[in-house]
Amino acid sequence: MKRTSAFAILLAAVFAAGPAAAQSPRPVAGLPSPPGLNVSSFVLMEQETGTILASLEPELRVEPASITKIMSAYAVFEALAAGETSMDEEAVISETAWRMQGSRTFLDLNSRVSVEDLLLGMIVQSGNDASVALAEHLAGAEEDFAVLMNSIAQRLGMTGTNFENSTGWPGENHYTTALDTAILTRAMVRDYPTLYGMHALREFTWNGIRQPNRNTLLARDATVDGVKTGHTESAGYCLVASSVRDGMRLIAVVMGAASEAQRAQDALRLLSYGFRYFETRKLLEAGADFGSARVWKGEETVVGLTVEDDVVMTLPKRASEGMETRVTVNEPLIAPLEAGQPVGRVALIRDGETLAELPLVPERAVPSGGLWQRTRDSVLLWFE
């Protein structure tokens, strides 16, 4: 069974745009405006459908700082899934990794550390030394790991991103966007849900040093289970936060806030806005009955009609009320018909706007009838 996710035909768009819109994003009719945040850019995305619920400069290229480590973690998760490494495999800590500045896990030079502990050091403590150690272990050199990161970014459709390193250390050609970061986070939750759980850990102790997760929302809101913070002087304070309430997951990306407190508060405001005003619902179910239609020149004269996909949409709450399902059949239907062959369309319409459309298909194949059946129906069709 397939699932069709109808994106924001919805709400045509992403709420807002350029700098002038920062305090007054263009609202969708009937909805309060999203929060006006004093940041470089932000995106609020729903996980299941990928719908953008609110944004500011979503495709602006910005310095990601340690938000970069979301991609570093994704690349390691991919290697684990492919059997290219394992959690208990050990990496030797090089002088390059050991000398890394900024946030650190405090790894010892030439020590052997498991991939699992390095992941925890990178994800929970944001350790630059752990990030470089993982990059060298998997790719031989950090610059080669960056090539892998960029390959994954391209595959995921992150068109405004380029990585030069695994840590987020500032570089002239090291950049991403709020939209790309949301796309990456969504992919991680979808592709590696169990490993993603490491982002919910509130602390990690290594070398006798206990360090808390820099994502303070983990302690403030029990529904938040990730994801990553970032900060450099040039990037400002960045945060990717994800939360699940009533079965719906939202991802909030905040780039370029003025302080640690502001980035946390802004992410919470975005999440609260999304959960208050939106819902994700299944509007059509694969296999739903859409009646039947006459079949000409076939072994059978009638066939049932259905759809093969679910339609799941994220919409403003109560927006699905009054929605009309419109069915169009491409008559006459002439055998042979294959199962799954499009024979019409099913459209979901509200207030004259088509929100989603998908093929109408026969429930089963209908082979051609015999010579007599085909001849008779050919004559009858002249009078239709």
> Taking residues 324-353, what's their average pLDDT?
93
Residue 12 has pLDDT above 50, yes or no: no
Percent of the chain surpassing pLDDT 90:
84
Alpha-carbon span 49 to 312, nearest angstrom: 7
What are the tens digits of pLDDT across the range 144-186?
999 999 999 999 999 999 999 999 999 999 999 999 999 999 9
Asked if 365 contacts 303 with a C-beta cutoff of 8 angstroms, the reply is no
What mean pLDDT is predicted for residues 124-133? 97
Report CA dihedral (293, 294, 300, 305) to the nearest 10 degrees: -10
Instruction: Please state at what angle helix 142-156 crosses helix 69-81, rounded to 10 degrees.
Output: 90
pLDDT confidence tier of residue 16, bands split at 50, 70 and 90: very low
Q: Strand 203-206 to strand 353-362: parallel, antiparallel, or no bridges (unpaired)?
A: unpaired
pLDDT at 59 over 60: yes
pLDDT digits (tens, 9 = 90+) for 232-259: 999 999 999 999 999 999 999 999 999 9
Domains, the chain, in order of start with CATH, read 2-279 (3.40.710.10), 285-381 (2.60.410.10)
Q: What's the confidence (pLDDT) of residue 5?
A: 40
pLDDT of residue 369: 85
Section 24-38 average pLDDT: 71
Q: Does position 17 have pLDDT exceeding 60, yes or no? A: no
Residues contacting 180, CB < 8 A, separation 6+: 153, 158, 159, 160, 161
Residues labelled as active-site residues: 66, 69, 126
Which H or E run contains 354? Answer: strand 353-362
**What's 26's DSSP letter?**
P
Residue 229 has pLDDT above 70, yes or no: yes
Q: What is the mean pLDDT of the chain?
A: 91
Strand bridging mode 309-316 / 2-6 = parallel
- Taking the whole predicted model, whether its pTM rises above 0.75 is answered as yes
Give the residue from 61, 24, 69 showing the smallest Cα distance to 40.
61
134-145 average pLDDT score: 98
Is residue 355 within 8 A of residue 9, CB to CB? The reply is yes
Q: How distant, in Å, are the alpha carbons of 171, 293, 369, 372 from that of 376? A: 75, 18, 10, 6
Which of 129, 141, 121 has its CA nearest to residue 167?
129
Task: Please check the confidence at residue 92 and state whether its pLDDT lies above 80.
Answer: yes
